[in-house]
């Protein structure tokens, strides 16, 4: 896979993904609705060792996730663009909208549809899970 690059809207924070993505999905949980401003978060799952910030110092907001572990939402302190989440997972969910070319990736799965907003369409052709997919 070629390198993917992205960053925040104002340009203060930049990152690159050098590892093969572990998937692309849309998460409809309430936490993601806050982070997206309405609908689901569209995220590309980058392996932890294949992701790096290359410019700037993003800010973190720590919060207990659904199963009690700490999940950090990482964003630009200047412009507020949500960038990635960090937690106990083997990957970092990277916000697709922060990529330089978000059109390059489309979701393969919808998760946490139990809290999806009724007005948000979900592609019936894609697998969907009411909470996290079985691992
Ligand atoms: Zn910024």
CATH code of 89's domain: 2.170.150.70
Ligand 1 centroid distance, CA of 131 (Å): 31
91, 112 Cβ separation under 8 angstroms: no
Read off the pTM: 0.91
Q: Are strands 82-86 and 70-75 parallel, antiparallel or unpaired?
A: antiparallel
Assess if residue 40 is contained within a domain: yes
Assess if residue 123 is contained within a domain: no
Q: How confident is the model at residue 5 (pLDDT cuts 50, 70, 90)?
A: very high
Ligand 1 centroid distance, CA of 80 (Å): 6
Ligand 1 centroid distance, CA of 95 (Å): 14
CA distance 41 to 93: 9
Q: 40-96, pLDDT tens digit by residue?
A: 999 999 999 999 999 999 999 998 876 778 989 999 999 999 999 998 888 999 999
Work out whether the CA dihedral 76, 14, 89, 126 comes out positive or negative.
positive
Q: Which two tokens stand for residue 36?
A: 């997206």
Domain span including residue 14: 4-115
Question: Which residues have their alpha-adjacent CB atom under 5 A from ion ligand 1?
Answer: 8, 10, 12, 76, 78-79
Ligand 1 centroid distance, CA of 82 (Å): 9
How many domains is the chain built from?
1
Assess if residue 133 is contained within a domain: no
Residue 105 reports pLDDT greater than 60: yes
Ligand 1 centroid distance, CA of 11 (Å): 5
Which residue is associated with the tokens 């969907």? 128
Assess if residue 129 is contained within a domain: no
Assess if residue 22 is contained within a domain: yes
Q: 7-44, pLDDT tens digit by residue?
A: 999 999 999 999 999 999 999 999 899 999 999 999 99
The torsion defined by the Cα of 29, 34, 37 and 38, in degrees rounded to 10, comes to: 40
Q: How confident is the model at residue 1 (pLDDT cuts 50, 70, 90)?
A: low
Ligand 1 centroid distance, CA of 13 (Å): 6
Assess if residue 124 is contained within a domain: no
Ligand 1 centroid distance, CA of 19 (Å): 24
Q: Which two tokens stand for residue 111?
A: 């998760």
């Amino acid at each position: 896979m070629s390198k993917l690059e992205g960053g925040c809207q104002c340009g203060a924070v930049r990152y690159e993904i050098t590892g093969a993505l572990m998937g692309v999905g849309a998460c409809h949980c309430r936490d993601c609705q806050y982070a997206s401003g309405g609908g689901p978060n569209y995220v590309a799952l980058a392996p932890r060792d294949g992701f790096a910030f290359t410019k700037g110092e993003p800010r973190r907001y720590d919060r207990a996730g659904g199963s009690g572990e700490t999940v950090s939402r990482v964003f630009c302190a200047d412009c507020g663009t949500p960038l990635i989440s960090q937690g106990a997972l083997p990957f970092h969910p990277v916000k697709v909208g922060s990529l330089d070319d978000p059109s390059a990736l489309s979701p393969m799965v919808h998760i946490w549809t139990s809290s999806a907003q009724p007005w948000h369409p979900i592609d019936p052709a894609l697998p969907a899970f009411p909470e996290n997919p079985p691992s």
